[in-house]
Each structure stands twice: as C-alpha cells, then as structure tokens.
A and B are shown apart, each in its own frame.
Chain A
Amino acid sequence: MWFLRNCPSMTRMPAPTPHERLAARARRVALLRRRVIAVACASFALAWAVIAHAGSTGAETAANASVASGQETDSSTTANDSGTVTSNDDGGTLTTAQS
C-alpha cells in the first residue's frame, strides 16, 4: 500500500528505546494523516474542476426545463392535477412532467 511506504518505521534502528519508538510512531501517524488530507484535498479540487468544466449546474438545467415546457404551452395544451402537461399538435404528442 503506497500510503504506508517510506514511513519512518521502515528504518531499522538497533534496540530503540520506548521513547524513540513512541516518537517514531507519532511521526508515522502524522505522515499518514498528512497524506490522507492531501489526497482528500486533491480529490476535492479534481471533482470541483470536473464539475465546473462539465458545465451542468443542475439549477440551470431545471430552469431551462421549466422555460422549455412553458414555450411548449399553446391552445392545444392541457394540464392535469398531477402536474403533467400534455401538448398535442400535428398528430404528435409531447408530454413533460415536473420532477
């Protein structure tokens, strides 16, 4: 596991004292924690960049959907109680539902 590589414990020291062992353990724990924080921050930055680059904000999509469904409304449009809008023209049927 790459997280555990090159940790201070890998260095063989002849008969370390309990104090040295505790200090080495503390260093190893601190190193692991720093690596986890670094990986978590990198994941966050990468996800942020991918989401921003993809461009879909969710909110925009919902807004565009409501505008689009509004534009479809005409004299032949009917709406029922469940929020489903049905438009019927040229023999074709378009149905949109608000989620």
Chain B
Amino acid sequence: MGEHVFWITSRAAGVTALLCASAAVALGLLMGGRFVVGRRGDLKTLHESLALATLGALAVHALSLLGDGYLSPSLADVTIPFVSDYHRMWTGFGIVAGWTLAALGLSYYARGRIGPARWKRLHRFTALAWLLGVLHALGEGTDAGTAWFLVTAAAVVLPTVALLAVRLGGTAVPAEQP
C-alpha cells in the first residue's frame, strides 16, 4: 500500500476533478441556457467554487504523480502535453484539458481587461476542455474499466452531455423574468 500512496492519491484526485468539473460545467450550462430562475447569485458562487475545487483537484492529480516511484514522471511529463511516453495521446489530452480549464477558469478574474463579451465567448470553450478531460479519464484512467467508476462518471457526465447537446441545439427555453 505504502509505495502506491501517490498513485492512489493521483487517481482519487482525478476522480474528484471529474466530478467537480462536470458539476461546474452543468451549472454553467444551466445558468447560460436560462434553465433556472432566481438565486442566480448563489448558483454563480456555486459554479465558481466548483471550478476552483476542480483546479485544486487537478493540481493534486498532476503533482502527486511526481512522487510515484513506479511511473517516476518528470515535471515536464505531467505539465507539457505529449512529452510523457506513458499513454502519450491520452496523457496529452489530459494535460491540454487541465491547462485549458485553468486558463479559461482563472480568466474570470481578468474579464474586466479581456472584455465581458469576449470573455463570455472564450468561456464557452470550457465545455470542450471538459470533454477532453472526460476522454482522458475514459481512455487512460486506470479505473476506467471498473464498474464503480463507470457508474459514477455516467451519473455526472451524461446529464452534462445532455445539457450541452440541448445548448448546442439551441433548444433552451428562455426563463421568464420575475
């Protein structure tokens, strides 16, 4: 067990990141698609908190791998896409998704400089980065073949994919203003 602590920690953090990111994206789609009325301030806080929790979990997911004695990745392996020899494509997808989520998420705090309209357009790419992260989890994840992971992932990913499909299809019904 002892020698696998970092490996297990990384996987658990990856699962947490997937859960938090899925919830954050789903909330963002709900708010942007005008599916919800009232308490938008609270939902926005929830969305922001989940996004920050995702970034924290992603940092643990990547950095804890540095302590794994079996894989022994370098800092470049876990931070630069397509450098690691371990599942090069899936790892690359994960790193691209992680950096994109970080950049798009943290850009919220610079939206004054970016411009609210431009930031809003950019922020939509978060869903794409999240999808890339889901591909990384399913393609490379050590737990991707286990029932508990598949059930958990399906519970958060499928509703979010459905919301995304509705949003892309443009069938969101504008909520009535109070």
Interface residues of A (CB under 8 A from B): 3-4, 7, 9, 25, 28-29, 32-33, 36-37, 40, 43-45, 47-48, 50-52, 54, 56-60
Q: Which stretch of B10-18, B120-128, B163-171 is in the interface?
A: B10-18
Residue pairs across A and B with Cβ atoms less than 8 A apart, 11 shown, are A28-B42, A32-B45, A32-B46, A40-B19, A40-B56, A43-B20, A44-B13, A52-B8, A58-B11, A59-B68, A59-B71
Contacting residues of chain B (4-39) with chain A, CB-CB under 8 angstroms: 4, 7-9, 11-13, 15-16, 19-20, 39
* Number of A-B residue pairs with CB-CB distance less than 8 Å in the complex they form: 75
Q: Contacts of B12 on A, CB cut-off 8 Å?
A: 44-45, 47-48, 51
The answer to whether B70 touches A59 (Cβ under 8 A) is yes
Q: How far is the CB of B87 from chain A (nearest CB, A)?
A: 9
A40 and B20 in contact (CB under 8 A), knowing A32-B45, A32-B49, A52-B1?
yes
The answer to whether B71 touches A32 (Cβ under 8 A) is no
The answer to whether B46 touches A51 (Cβ under 8 A) is no
- Is B146 engaged at the interface, CB distance under 8 Å to the other chain? yes
Interface residues of B (CB under 8 A from A): 1, 4, 7-9, 11-13, 15-16, 19-20, 39, 41-42, 45-46, 49-50, 53, 56-57, 60, 68, 70-71, 142-143, 146, 148
